[in-house]
Structure 1
């Protein structure tokens, strides 16, 4: 175990490999070769198709402004709700 005040010397470059050998790529953004083949990626068939004008292709049913027919209202109906506060102490007794 190392003491907290002990300084370890840097390993020589020969032991670390050639300069840049641990580098992950170019030093410039978008620089250097791409590590993937050109062409389409397997799985592109799951991306929605778009026509020349940028509109969606065959992605499912037609889209309308109508809500789904099986949608429940976000707020329950107002039938049976009280419109004023109950008098103080006039609530149900248990």
Structure 2
């Protein structure tokens, strides 16, 4: 099991950012001990790595939440493709 601080370090984010993601419903601890400590497992580590990757692509927290809750990977690919198309359009406008 991994503590909140260790999980944040492994993903290269701050503890505060991880707790923000938890408040936004993107991630939840595997369990909480009697003293209130949060404990995370490997599945939460993988999920957080996905969240961090999506954020690095410029996706909003709301978009990430939507992506993570989708069942079909084709839907995820469609949303990401649309986002990248918007970014390309924005880059083209800035170049002009």
TM-score of the aligned structures, taking structure 2 as reference length: 0.18
If each structure's strand is expressed as a fraction of its own residues, which one has the higher value?
Answer: 2
If each structure's helix is expressed as a fraction of its own residues, which one has the higher value?
Answer: 2
Structure with larger Rg: 1
> Larger RCO: Structure 1 or Structure 2 (Cα < 8 Å, ≥ 6 residues apart)?
2
TM-score of the aligned structures, taking structure 1 as reference length: 0.18
